[in-house]
Amino acid sequence: MTNGSSGGEHLVMERRFGVRGMMARHERDWMEFVAALMAEPLTEFPAQRIALRLGETFDGLGCSFNDIAPGRAPTIELYPLRENLSGYRDQIEEWSIERAAEEHPLLRFYIGTGLRVPIRTHDVPATYSDPRVCGEWTALARSCHCQDQMALPLRLQPGVHRAFVLGRGEPFTDAELDLGRVLWRVLTGLDRQVSAFVRARREMGAAGHDVASAIRLTPRESAVLTLLSQGLTAGAIGRRLDIAERTVHKHLERCYSKLGVADRLSAVLRAQRLGLFGAVS
C-alpha cells in the first residue's frame, strides 16, 4: 500500500512540475515575442499576430479580437482566418456583433460587474450565464466545438470592450488561467504603449517622424518625449504607458543624450525646435 501510494504521489508531482515547466517556457517565449514587437515601429495594435500566437499557446480552435466602442462600427476578427468552425463561422461573427452584449456569458459578466480580469466561461457566476438567456450561445458554441472560452480583456469602460477570446472544446485548466493572467498584464501594457506610440506618431507628423528617425529615437522614446511635452511627470507617463517610473527615467536619459540636452525643459524646447511636435506656445 505504501509503495503504491508513494508511486501515485510521485506521478502527480511529476505531472505538476511538468505542467509548471511548460507554462514557464510559454511565459518566457511570450516575453521574447512581446519584446520583439516593442522593437518594431508599430503603427497599429498587432491583433492578428497576437491572436494566432494565443491560439498556438493554448491549443485553441479559434481566437477572436473584439474591439467595441461608441461612435464606430464594432470590430470582431476571428483567427485563424481560414478556420470555418464546422461551418458556423459566418453565423458566429454575425451573432457576436448583434447579440453578444445581451447573451454571451463572458460579456454579460464584464458589463454586469465592471471587472476587467481574465475569466473562463465555466467560472462565470450563474447570474450571468443563465441558460434562459445564454441558451442560444451555448448551442452555437457547442456546435462549433468552442464551448469553453477564456477572455483576456484589454480595456473595459462604459460602452467599450476590447479583448481577446479563446475558444476550444476542452476546458481551460487552472494553470492555463494563471498563464492567461500573466499574458493579460503584458498585452494590456502593450496595447497602451502602442496606442501612445500611434498618438505620438500622429502628433509628430511626417516631418517629425523623419527627425525622430534621423536622431534614432525609438517609438517608445518618441512616445515618452511627446507625453513629456504635454506636461506629464515621469510617474504619470509610467501610468499612461503601463511601465515603471524608473523605466521612464531611463527612456528620458536616452532622449536627453540623443537631443544633446541635460534636463526635461531643454529636451522639450530642443524637440520643438527640431520639429518633433508643435511649435513653442
Residue 50 to residue 267: CA distance in whole angstroms: 35
* 265, HSE (Cβ side, Cα atoms, 13 Å): 0
Q: What is the pLDDT of residue 71?
A: 82
Q: pLDDT, tens digit, for every residue of 104-146?
A: 999 999 999 999 999 999 999 999 999 999 999 999 999 999 9
pLDDT exceeds 60 at position 10: no
CB under 8 Å, gap of 24 or more: what pairs does 248-256 form?
248/224, 251/220, 251/221, 251/224, 252/224, 252/225, 252/228, 254/221, 255/217, 255/221, 255/224, 255/225, 255/228
| 67's grid cell | 474591439
Q: Is the pTM of this model over 0.85?
A: no
pLDDT exceeds 80 at position 268: yes
**For residue 278, what pLDDT band results from cuts at 50, 70 and 90?**
low
Q: What is the pLDDT of residue 8?
A: 57
**For residue 12, what pLDDT band results from cuts at 50, 70 and 90?**
very low
From the list 171, 104, 173, 163, the residue with the least C-alpha distance to 139 is: 104
pLDDT above 70 coverage of the chain, percent:
92
